[in-house]
Structures are given as C-alpha cells and as structure tokens.
Structure 1
C-alpha cells in the first residue's frame, strides 16, 4: 500500500473537489427524498478552502487526491455549553480507496486543528440510513444525539 499524506486543500484542487462533491450528492440522493432533482451543489468550495475559520484537507496517494474533509468553526446555540464547535463536512473518499481508513486520518487531522483552535466539541450531520458512514464516525468517537425529522405537506 502506498503512503497516504494529508495536506491543506488549495484552489488548484478545485476540479477534483467538484467531482468529489458530485460523488457526495450521488451517494446522498437515494437517501434523501427531499433533495432537488438535477445537478446540485452543496458547498462553496473556494470559500471553504480560503476561509480563516475552516481547515479543508485532502488525502494524497501517489500525487492523486483521493479524499477530502473539512472542519469549520461554527457558533453553537446560546443554550449549549460550548459557545463554538467544529462542524465536520465534505467527508469523501474515492470508492477505489475506501477501506484504508483514510477518513480516519483526515478526521484525526481535523480534530488536531480543532484542538489548536481551543474547540471542545465536534459535530457533523449524517443520514440515518447511511450505515457505513455512521459506523466510521462512531468508531472515531462520535455519538448520535438528535434526530431531524421532516414530512411533505
């Protein structure tokens, strides 16, 4: 197995990250009947890469970007004990590279950055029927705390 390195994303990674975004959308469309039809964009990737409040990372194997993830400093609700938290998003690993714990390497690096920023809490959103992603996040130490519910009317 080739060594995996983690580095900050740059604007030069934009094309591959746009492909990753569509990979995320494709994976989530069957999980969410509330998503719009057609082409979707979830993220403002250039802003995520350049923001001072975000750490956007990519994983590299043999000069190929194979995975991504970011953490963003967000305000918590006024009634929560931590005024700020790190919000983790855009976790994506190319299908041919899954099963190598690359997402764990990215999460470790994001957690380290969050600690350097003196954050005390990480959060993320994951579809309740995305069982594989939930397993990864639970192995990393995340736990479920809230169920978001919707209905058509």
Structure 2
C-alpha cells in the first residue's frame, strides 16, 4: 500500500472511531427533515414522476415513535451526520416468511460519504431486525443510481425485482 492510501485509510479509521450510533429522538426532527429533503433532491433525477413542489416521503415523527420501526442516527462530535430506518412489514401470503425488515431513509451528509458510514448504519439496522426475529431485509433503490446500487451490493443485497412503468 502506498503512503497516500495509508494516510487515507488512517483518516477513515480515525473518523470511524469518532462516530457513535443511537436511535433517533424527537428532538432530532429538524435535522432529519433536512436529510429527507437531501434524499428527495438526490432521487429527483431518477424519478420523473415526483411532484415538482415540496414533498415528503416519510412521517419521521411516527417512525421514531413506532415500536415496529427503528430509526438510527450516526453522530460525529455530537452532530447528526447520517440516518436510516428499518420497519417491520407484513410479507405477502405467498412468501416463505410472514414479516421482513424494510430499509430506507439512508442518508449521509456529503462531507462524510465514502467512509463506510452507511454500511455501519445498515449493520445497526440489521441487528435490530434480527432482535425482532426477522430473517429478510429489503429496500428499494433506483436502478440508474449506480452508486447506491453498488453500495447495497457490497453489503450483500441482490437485485430481486425490477419495477417497470410507461406513461400513457
């Protein structure tokens, strides 16, 4: 490994040592609302069906208060820098399992991206799902969002179904 790669790895390791994870709290809502808008802005280029005006994907307050959803935040120096959630969903009656965990609300502040933080968030969400006796995690990602697809594949997710559409 050359010196510059060693320095980058050292910086990443140092950064990861300073990052803590915890369940989201109601007083985190202002930051989490900003993260939601960041997700929507990032996804607009991939989805021409989104309304142009201000939209929301989530009821974040309800997610935090729900017993069937775990919202995780990552903190660096007491600043929230990332988020994600896993929700217990009922499976279709024809599947092998009754319930599964659905992952979403994955966001990392731009200056912290590429440091493995989203992977750590998913690991925490996976542990929570396992504590609830779930053995399947699912998520949705835009097929053309190659960075996100690649990140999820590195974690072990596999493409399963492609949703298709046509305007008429």
TMscore range, shorter length = over 0.9
| Gapped regions of structure 1 (runs ≥ 5) | none
1:101 has 2:116 as partner: yes
Shift of 1:18: 0.3
Choose which of 107, 116, 140 in structure 2 pairs with 1:92.
107
Choose which of 143, 146, 167 in structure 2 pairs with 1:131.
146
1:43 has 2:58 as partner: yes
TM-score by length of 1: 0.98
- 1:152 equivalent in structure 2: 167
Choose which of 90, 93, 115 in structure 2 pairs with 1:78.
93
- 2:69 equivalent in structure 1: 54
- Structure 1 runs of 4+ aligned residues shifted over 2 Å read none
Higher-Rg member (1/2)? 2
Structure with the largest fraction of helix:
2
Over aligned residue pairs, what C-alpha RMSD do you find? Answer: 0.6
Shift of 1:151: 1.1
Choose which of 30, 37, 62 in structure 2 pairs with 1:22.
37
1:67 has 2:82 as partner: yes
TM-score by length of 2: 0.90
* Counterpart-to-counterpart distance in 1, 2:49 and 2:60: 23
* Counterpart-to-counterpart distance in 1, 2:46 and 2:111: 21
1:114 has 2:129 as partner: yes
Shift of 1:15: 0.1
